[in-house]
Chain A
Amino acid sequence: MTRNPQTANAVTRAVPRSRRALRNRIRKAVPWAVISAFLIFALFPVYWIILIAFRPRDDIFQFPAALMPSNLSLDNIRYVWFGTQTNDPVIGFLGTSLVISVTASVIALAFGVCCAYALGRFRIGGKFLSMWILSQRFLPPIALVVPLYLMFRQLGLLDTYTGLIILYATFTIPIVVWLMLGYVESAPPELEEAAYVDGAGYWTAFVRVALPVLKPGLSVAAVFTFIFIWNEYVLAYQLAGDDVATITVYLPRLRSAIAELYGEIAAASLLSVLPAILFAGVMQRFLVRGLAFGGLK
């Protein structure tokens, strides 16, 4: 008699518990369902470009398109790598992009970190100066392309490495300042003060003491500027594009050729996005830490 209510109690308790376990499992499954759906949406186009890049020409132009990989072929890659009578090999354009991206990034980082240090440590120009520099980030190249075109035409900078490099370096300075300000402000000034006491000048203290502390921030900024420049199309096409042609200018060119070089465009696109894919991992680490408000924490 006395045991009966207990067992009954245990049974009634066991039912909601298993239901709760089920609900818990659903609660855990829903986020993964959402994430999986987005991963498919985000990555399917990447999958498609890889698929087309390695698909033989005859298989590409079939209806309906096969969704799974069938025959593999390196023809498309070979075509863009070595070029043909009508198209130049892709390597030269990748090289141009690399030279411009690296040179302009180095200049932007050098200028930008000095500027961020001046703003963050010595507070020159007050709030106005840092706000003005940061606000430059909001002027997209497309809004300035017309006057820049006229300026460059006047100065003879159209279609030159110099022109594109100074342009990209300038356009990415605000990004560097924006990213580095936070690092400068969170680095303890005591280190440099100790260096001053030891008789170091401002410049020596900056180079020997502050810069090493800022290194992690600099590598993040380098990734951002490199990707920005590597991906830029509007200025690269309108202010250069003949003698000095970057990879982003090369890609649409394949389309305007006699035939639509489907597989070849895919192959060249694939080669062009490799740095971006490698760097997405680096971006991830920084972005989650709160890019929304920039270095201004």
Chain B
Amino acid sequence: MRGEKRFAWAMAAPSIIALVALGIVPLVWMLWTAFQAFSPNPTLPPQFVGLDNFDSLVSDPQFLGSLKITAMVLVAALFLQLVFGFALALALYSIETGRALVVSLLLIPTAIAPIVAGIVWWMLFNARFGAINSILLQWFGVDPINWTIEMPTALIAIVIAVVWQWTPFVAIILLGGLTTIPRDVLDAARIDGAPARRVLRYIILPMMRPFFLVVGLLMIIEIVRLYELPFFITQGGPGNETVVAGVYLFKLAFSFFDLGRASMMSVFLVISLSVVAALYMRLVADRKASV
């Protein structure tokens, strides 16, 4: 028995050591650097400044603005992803043939690198050579729109790109949820003559709740860490109107070399994401216990 445990710990040790070294150590380091001021000159040692970074961060309009913009993208994108994702999941659930092929094709946006997704949408939204303005003009007679350099179209462009990249993923997770609903429950409801709307409202949606929560939490994490899409599509512009949290963190750290303040912002992001992650793990544990 003891040999068994010793073997098991030896098997897990490399992973645990790696995760501590590159997961826990940076976190602790970050807690330390969040209270220091760094000089742009890397040879000068950082100075301990207490809560200065925190104070300057919470009074920094750009930081607060970046949170507001992230929240706006989050609300818009999450809503569209869940609504479209569920519609798509229902459609995929009800077809009998070709599902594997359709799903493979639909997953291409999710499998593509975010930086490439940024490039693609930057090209599509280009005011002069992009496909979107070309379609609008040729099919609908709409004059060219300066998508990426005006508001609110710049933000809309980012939301569309986020929705494009992640809606198929949302749909597949929700489709997985739909397949867990026992067929005989649905058949029984249908035989009893329940209209489709009521089946959806009273049977499908309640049973899908955990799946909506899981996929919603995963999407919150994806959007909070959003960086590549705004970086490529709008470069944060016009002005700073599309500087999401991730872009501002990069600006602080690698444009202004304000590594102390960037650390403080990272601490803030890690704490927020940990809350989301804790909710997710709770949900997973509950589900495991109930199934």
Give me the interface of A with B, judged by CB distance under 8 Å: 30-32, 34-35, 38-39, 41-46, 48-49, 52, 60-67, 111-112, 114-115, 117-119, 121-122, 124-125, 127, 129, 131, 133-136, 138-151, 153, 166-167, 169-171, 173-174, 177, 202-203, 206, 227, 230-234, 238, 248, 251-252, 255, 262, 265-266, 269, 272-273, 276-277, 279-281, 283-285, 287-294, 296-297
Contact = CB atoms under 8 A, between A and B. Distances in A.
A172 to B, nearest CB: 10
B116 A272 contact: yes
A264 to B, nearest CB: 11
A42 B179 contact: no
B211 A252 contact: no
Contacts of A140: 221, 224-225, 273
B135 A42 contact: no
Contacts of A34: 87-88, 90-91
B252 to A, nearest CB: 9
A289 B178 CA distance: 11
A284 B119 contact: no
Nearest to A33: B91
Given A114-B11, A280-B107, A281-B104, A269 B120 contact: yes
Contacts of A42: 105-106, 108-109, 164, 168
Interface in B105-144: 105-117, 119-121, 123-124, 128-131, 133-135, 137-138, 144
Given A124-B12, A138-B280, A284 B18 contact: no
Contact of B131 (A48, A143, A288): A48
A146 B33 contact: yes
Contacts of A173: 15, 18-19
Contacts of A122: 4-5, 7-8
Contacts of B269: 142-143
B232 interface: yes
Contacts of A291: 172-173, 176
Contacts of B243: none
A238 B108 contact: no
B88 A35 contact: yes
B175 interface: yes
Contacts of B284: 293-294, 296
Nearest to A59: B129
- Chain A at the B interface: SS class: helix
Contact of A144 (B15, B110, B180, B266): B266
A143 B273 contact: yes
Contacts of B191: none
A202 B15 contact: no
Most B C-beta atoms less than 10 A away, residue of A65, A127, A279: A65
A144 B27 contact: yes
Contacts of B113: 230-233, 248, 272-273, 276
Contact of A115 (B15, B107, B167, B276): B15
B225 to A, nearest CB: 4
B263 interface: yes
B147 to A, nearest CB: 14
Most A C-beta atoms less than 10 A away, residue of B14, B21, B26, B211: B26
Contacts of A174: 19
Contacts of B78: none
A293 B214 contact: yes
Interface string B51-94: 00000000000000000000000000000000010011011101
Contacts of A146: 30, 33, 249, 253, 259, 262-263, 266
Contacts of A287: 103, 107, 169, 172-173, 176
10 contacts: A34-B90, A34-B91, A44-B131, A65-B130, A111-B14, A145-B250, A147-B30, A151-B29, A231-B114, A272-B116
B182 interface: no
Contacts of B33: 146-147, 150
Most A C-beta atoms less than 10 A away, residue of B103, B215, B278: B103
Contact of B107 (A60, A66, A230, A284): A284
A131 B281 contact: yes
A266 B123 contact: yes
Contacts of A49: 119-120, 123
A231 B110 CA distance: 11
Contacts of B210: 292
B25 interface: yes
A48 B124 contact: yes
Interface in B1-17: 3-5, 7-9, 11-12, 14-16
Contact of A63 (B15, B19, B128, B167): B128
B108 to A, nearest CB: 5
B58 to A, nearest CB: 18
A233 to B, nearest CB: 4
A45 B190 CA distance: 40
